[in-house]
Amino acid sequence: MENKDFNWGVIGTGGIAKAFTADIKQLKNHRVSAVLSRSIHTAESFSSHAPTCNGFDSMDAFLKESMVDAVYVATPNPFHCSQTIEALNSGIPVLCEKPFSMDRKEADLMVKTSETNRVALLEGMWTRYLPHISKIRNLISEGTIGHIESVSA
C-alpha cells in the first residue's frame, strides 16, 4: 500500500513557522503544501523554498483551495482563536502553537468548536523534557512496566 503525503498548511510566516517547516522536511511522507500570510508577497517568498508549497493571502482561499490535511497556526497569539475556529469549521484539524489562546473563554470556544465539528485540535507544546516523560522513560528502561509493544496518544 502506497503512503500518501500528509499535507500541512502553515498559517503565519515568522520564525516559528520557518522552524516548523524545516522540521517537517525531515519527516517522510509529510510536506508543507500551503502557507497563509497577510501579504501574498510574503506567502510566495516563504513558499518558494518548497516546490510543492502554494502561498495564500486569504484565509477563505487557503482553507478552500489548499487541500491540506491539517494546519499549523503560527501567528501572533491574539489571532490563534479566530484562525483555529475557521479551520475547525472547515473540517481541518489544527495544531495551534502555544499559548493556545489569550484566555480561558477563547480556549473553551476553540475546544467546543473542535468537539462540535469532531475535528482534532492540539496545542503545540513540547513534552519531551517534562518530568513525567523522564519518569516514563525510567520505568520503561528499568523494566518496571514490562515490554512495550505500542504507545498511542
What's the pLDDT at 125?
A: 77
Residue 50: band (very low, low, confident or very high) from pLDDT cuts 50, 70, 90: confident
Helix count and strand count (H, E) for the chain: 6, 6
- C-beta of residue 72 within 8 angstroms of C-beta of residue 11: yes
Packing angle, helices 15-24 and 40-47, rounded to 10: 30
Sequence-separated (6 or more) residues with CB below 8 Å from residue 113 = 84, 85, 88, 89, 121
C-alpha cell at 18: 520557518
In order of their start, the domains of the chain are 6-127 (3.40.50.720)
What confidence tens digit (pLDDT) does each residue in 120-141 have? Answer: 999 887 766 677 878 888 888 8
Residue 21's closest CA among 29, 10, 11? Answer: 10
Stated pTM of the model: 0.80
Q: Is the pLDDT of residue 33 over 70?
A: yes
At 70, the amino acid letter reads A
What confidence tens digit (pLDDT) does each residue in 55-112 have? Answer: 999 999 999 999 999 999 999 999 999 999 999 999 999 999 988 888 999 999 999 9
